[in-house]
Homo-oligomer: A and B are copies of this chain.
Amino acid sequence: MMAAQMDNQAEFVGGAFSSDPEKSAEAGKAYYMDPKRVYKTWQEMVEKESALGEDERIDFVTIVTPNSSHAEIATAFAEAGIDIMCEKPMTMDLASAKALAETVKKAEIAFALNHNYTGYPMVKQAKHMVASGDFGKINKIVVEYPQGWLSGYLRGEEGAIRPWRMDPKLAGSACCMGDIGTHAENLARYITGLEIEELCADLSSFIPDNKLDDDGNCLVHWQDGVKGILMASQISSGEENGLNIRIYGTQMGMQWFQEDPNYLHLKDPSGFKKTLSRGNPDILCDAANKGSRLPFGHPDGFIEAMANGYLAFFEEVRAGKPTGADHPTVDDGVVGMAFIETVVESAKAGATWVKMKK
């Protein structure tokens, strides 16, 4: 909500805030919303908002319900012609993701996936530099997403025990790879434009009663002969939210860390390690500058990155249709589900090579 409203271009006016109607009403009050627009269920919301005239109707809906309900809710709003910002993962499996993508395209609505990490300006700068050939021919990618929070489970810390994450019915077929591995795949693809061709995934469940993965190491072959590693982990004790990527081309290498997002580190073999700072309009690309609210030295953070995704989505909301704005799309949601299914199939077969599903 902070991210959506950051740039003063949207205001939350209503919603269905809980599966419990009373709690929904209370939440609406806390947000100073008109009680008439605080609905008991999302079904009621679709129905009543659809009945309003174009001018009165909400401009868009944000879906932040449990994963298993995304597909159904998104389909209903899409069919009602209401623009959608949907939390990831988009659906529970690849088939339903593809079905939703079809519905969304048919409805010609604006649809964005909240894959926020690509909203960081220096990620956009990296994408620009890859496209400009600054790194030469890309040969190797190492993308990692280590977290440590589930290791608390192994130490008996109560706060770390969130059973729904490990329940296939609620979380889908993957836990760690679904929750954060998809961000790693998305980040590498966003920056380089390269799709995974095949992968070999070694998933583990270090937590004794975990039916799903809490750690995974993958060998990856991307398009164009690019090779590398994709790693995601929730049991890397002491890691916070360590998404990071290294890309090596024939001319130069680079590194970006999500926890220190305002800097892009260039590894120039001529002998200078260089660091580019966000907020330097003279030397950064347009997309990086557009996503910057403050000059260099005034750090931006996670909320600003997420707000950039919203800003791009709002361009389409105002246009009333998809325009190719710079935000994660329904197709990114489809690739994410394909990635999860490919990884799980590879792991189940004993970490063998599997072609990326489509």
Copy number of this protein in the oligomer? 4
State the interface size on chain A (CB cutoff 8 A). 87
Q: How far is the CA of A269 from the CA of B156 in the complex (A)?
A: 13
In the complex, A162 has a CB within 8 A of chain B: no
Instruction: Answer whether residue A152 sits at the interface, using C-beta atoms and an 8 A cutoff.
Output: yes
Known: A8-B2, A293-B2. A215 touches B235 (CB 8 A): no
Q: Which residues of B contact A239 (CB under 8 A)?
A: 248, 253, 267, 297
Give every chain B residue within 8 A of A240 (Cβ-Cβ): 277, 296-297
A27 at the interface (CB under 8 A from B): no
A-B contact pairs, 19 of them (CB 8 A): A2-B6, A6-B6, A6-B303, A146-B248, A151-B250, A202-B227, A236-B267, A237-B252, A237-B267, A238-B267, A241-B297, A241-B298, A259-B262, A270-B283, A272-B275, A274-B274, A300-B301, A300-B302, A350-B353
Cα distance, A215 to B284, chains bound together (Å):
29
A248 in contact with B271 (CB, 8 Å): no
**A5 touches B (CB below 8 Å):** yes
The 0/1 profile, CB within 8 Å of B marked 1, for residues 112-142 of chain A is 0000000000000000000000011101101
- Are B235 and A140 interface neighbours, CB within 8 A? yes
A interface majority secondary structure: loop
Q: Is the CB of A303 within 8 A of B304?
A: yes
A1-42 contact mask (Cβ, 8 Å, vs B): 1 or 0: 110011110001000000000000000000110000000000
CA distance A262 to B5 in the complex (A): 23
Write out the residue numbers on chain B whose beta carbons fall within 8 Å of the beta carbon of A249: 237
Q: How far is the CA of A297 from the CA of B244 in the complex (A)?
A: 12
**How far in angstroms is the closest Cβ of chain B from A251?**
6
How long is the Cα–Cα vector from A302 to B296 in the complex, in angstroms? 11
A54 CB–B CB distance under 8 Å: no
> How far apart sit A242 and B275, CA to CA, in the bound complex (Å)?
16
Within 8 A of B (CB), among A83-129: none
Q: How far is the CA of A151 from the CA of B353 in the complex (A)?
A: 27
Residue A200 CB within 8 A of the other chain: yes
A253-B148, A274-B273 are contacts. A217–B228 as well, Cβ < 8 Å?
Answer: yes
Does A219 sit at the interface, judged by CB under 8 A?
yes
Q: Residue A286 at the B interface, CB < 8 A?
A: no
Chain B residues positioned under 8 Å from A204 (CB to CB): 139, 227
Asked if A56 CB lies within 8 Å of chain B CBs, one says no
Give Cα distance in the complex from A210 to B32, angstroms. 51
Residue interface bits A203-239, CB-to-B below 8 A is 1, else 0: 0101000000001010100000001110101011111
Report the 6 A-B pairs with minimum CB-CB distance, sorted nearest first.
A238-B267, A241-B297, A240-B297, A301-B301, A238-B253, A299-B301
B1 touches A237 (CB 8 A): no
A154 adjacent to chain B (CB < 8 Å): yes
CB-contacts of A138-175 with B (<8 A): 139-140, 142, 144, 146-148, 151-152, 154-155
A343: CB under 8 A from chain B? Answer: no
**Partner pick for A253 among B227, B237, B297, B298, CB 8 A cutoff:** B237
Q: Kindly report which residue of chain B lies nearest to residue A233, judged by CB atoms.
A: B140
